Each structure stands twice: as C-alpha cells, then as structure tokens.
Amino acid sequence: MNYVVSHPWFQTWVAALIAVLVTTLIHRAAQMVLMRATRSSITVQAVIQAVRTPAGIALPLMALQAVWQGAPDDLRYIDKVRHLNGLLLIAAITWVLVRVVQGFANGLIASHPVDVEDNANARRILTQTRVISRSAMTVLVVIGAAMMLLTFPGAKQLGASLLASAGLIGIVGGLAAKPVFSNFISGLQIALAQPIRIDDVLIVEGEWGRVEEITGSYVVLRIWDDRRLIIPLSYFIEKPFQNWTRSSAQLLGSVFFYVDFGMPIAPLRAEVERIVRAAPQWDQRFFNLQVTDTTERTMQVRVLCTAASSGQAFDLRCLVREELLAFMQREYPQYLPLHRLHTEERAGRVDGNNLDAATVRNDALAAGPSPAA
C-alpha cells in the first residue's frame, strides 16, 4: 500500500479518476436537463441525441488532458500520454462536430416531412440539408485528420519536403482529382441553386424517373420500371435535362388521336368532358379538346387535361385514351382512319372502270407518349 501511495503517478491517477467521474456526472445531468428544456424543438433534440455518445467521450478526455498538462514534466511517459490523449481528444471533438451536423440535418428534415400533398418546400429543404450536411461532415473529417497529423513533429518536415517537390505530382494529382472536385462543387451548386430536389420527376438521357437519392458525388434516378440510373452530380450543372416538378408537381397531360375528316367534333368534346370530370385523377383545373393538325388522310385531335402529380397525369392520360377510343369504336367506327388499296382486275391495265376497290381498315391510331414522356 505504501508503494502505491508513494508512486510518482499516484496523485496524477487519482486526479484523473476524479476528473472522469465528475465529467461523466456533468454529462448525464446536462443531457437530462437539455432534453427536458428542448422538448418543443425537434431540431435541438435531434442534435442532443446525436452528440450524446461522442460528448460522453470528449468531456472526460478534455478533463484528462487538463490533468496531464498539470502533471509534473519529469513523470515517466507523461509526454507520450499527453500526445495520445491529445490525438483521442481531437478525434472525439471531430466526432462531436460531425454528429452535431448530422443531428441538425436529421432534425431539420424531421421538421419538414415530405409525405404531404404539397411537399415542394419540404423537398427543397431535404435536398439542401442532405447535400450541405454531407459536404460539411466530409470537410470536418478532413480537418480533424489534418490536425491529428500535425501533432507529430515529423509531419511538418514531411509536409515541407512534399511541398518543395510537389510540382509535377501536384499537377498530375489535380488532373486525377478533377472529377472529385467537380462533383463536390456541383453538389454545393445543386444544394444552393436547387435545379433538382429529392423526389423530383426528371427526364434524363431519354429516361423518365424520380430523384431517389442525392449523394456527394452522384444522383440516383429511379426509372418508372424500377431500374436505377446513376448520374454524376456534374451532369446536372453541365448538361440540359427536364424537370417536371421544378416549381410545382402539377402537370398538363396530352393525348393525341388521328381520325377521319368525317368525325364530328362536338360529340368527342362532350365525351371528353364526361370522362375527365368522372376521373379521380383530374385536379379540377383544366381540360379541352382541339383539332391541332391535319394530314392528307386524317386530322389530329388533341386532348389536354391536368393532374396534381406526374403519376396521376400519366394515369389520367391512359384513362382518357382508352375510354375515348372505346367511344369512337362504339359510336363512330366508320370515321376511324382508313387506307384504301386499289388492285387491278386485269394485269397490265390501269383503267378506272376496271379497278376493284378493296378497303382495309387499320387499327385506330391512339398516338400517345411512352411511359417516359
């Protein structure tokens, strides 16, 4: 017992034990008080919950660092203990800062749910928060690692020698890292300018899909048939694309038909009104039917109708196309497009009196865009 009490490290270890116990009690008490005091704030509570574990490690390390700094300099291994504790403290503080950013992002997203009908503002906040928080966490980790490296005496000399001879290597490395930095800057531009957001409906490279995820380097586009299109972030800054939900999820859908010139338009217009008004996908904004073009054989009829979202617009277009086609087949089959093929009754003679007219009816043309349109 006398040997333990008389050991040079005895007082230092006792002080370290007391410091750990006190900071642990302070951490638990502070956590309980803060959780009760911030019950009305989802964001602040998310931050407190996120930093609970790393803060429980960082606070004792801070207290221990103070104990080691106050210990006599002639203690054996004190310098190594100080250095090791300093490295752990930098790592713990970096962890705390990363979790603060992550908790704030999660709380902000939870405060603006996207599972509502009008979620344009929530999707904007979701996209900005995710992209910026991931970029910030990456920067914090890099800074923390750099600070840990700088605690080693040889690291400064190594850095100076690398800088002195890094001309060509720096150029090669810069060219190699160009896509990484390009995507990083593009991510910040997307977060601030908002050309795309989570759950936006896009047409990219001829594919129709929704933005499922935005990472620090690429965007995951969920195609309508459940395929995934992976696109670099820089694509959305450098190339054009279609965004169907940029300012609103509401869309105007179109359906095209080709009919004979004898088709009366008034009954078609009345049938379109009946179909659209009875459709649950219609958002009560607008619909009409117009003759928009003619060819030498047919006229083009266009139906416009609105819906609250791209999915409902697609379903509404399909419904209008099917029911209007059934109406024409039932009430006006004679006015569906016809192609007349004249065959000669006798070989080698082309005479109007000797021509046998054979009429071949084609299927009605219901030209509508593909699912990606």
Which residue's structure tokens are 């370290």? 16
Q: Give the model's confidence band at 12: pLDDT under 50 very low, under 70 low, under 90 confident, else very high.
A: confident
Residue 316 lies in a domain: yes
Question: Distance of alpha carbon 285 from its chain centroid, rounded?
Answer: 29
- Give the pLDDT score at 275: 93
Residue 292 lies in a domain: yes
Number of domains in the chain: 3
Asked whether residue 82 falls in the same domain as residue 131, the answer is yes
Residue 146 lies in a domain: yes
Asked whether residue 131 falls in the same domain as residue 206, the answer is no
Residue 183 pLDDT > 70: no
- Give the pLDDT score at 273: 93
257 vs 175, higher pLDDT: 257
Identify which of 256, 371, 242, 248 has the alpha carbon closest to the alpha carbon of residue 314: 371
C-alpha atoms less than 13 angstroms from C-alpha of 264 in its C-beta half-sphere: 7
Asked whether residue 12 falls in the same domain as residue 94, the answer is yes
- The CATH number of whichever domain residue 355 belongs to comes to 3.30.70.100
Asked whether residue 101 falls in the same domain as residue 230, the answer is no
pLDDT in tens, 50-61: 888 999 999 999
Residue 373 lies in a domain: no
Residue 370 lies in a domain: no
Asked whether residue 190 falls in the same domain as residue 131, the answer is no
d(CA 195, CA 237): 8
- Give the pLDDT score at 358: 35
Asked whether residue 106 falls in the same domain as residue 7, the answer is yes
Residue 175 lies in a domain: no
Average pLDDT value for the chain: 78
User: Which of 82-96, 108-122, 346-360 is predicted least confidently?
Assistant: 346-360
Question: What average pLDDT score do residues 91-104 get?
Answer: 92
Region of 206 please: left (phi>0), alpha (psi -120 to 50) or beta.
left
Question: What average pLDDT score do residues 75-104 get?
Answer: 90
Residue ending a domain, choose from 226, 243, 260: 243
Determine contact, residues 22/90, Cβ cutoff 8 Å. no
d(CA 352, CA 349): 10
- The CATH number of whichever domain residue 200 belongs to comes to 2.30.30.60
Q: Give the model's confidence band at 166: pLDDT under 50 very low, under 70 low, under 90 confident, else very high.
A: very low
Asked whether residue 101 falls in the same domain as residue 34, the answer is yes
Containing domain of residue 145, as a range?
2-160
Highest mean pLDDT among 79-88, 92-101, 137-146: 92-101
Q: DSSP letters along 277-335, please?
A: HH-TTEEEEEEEEEEEEE-SS-EEEEEEEEESSHHHHHHHHHHHHHHHHHHHHHH-GGG
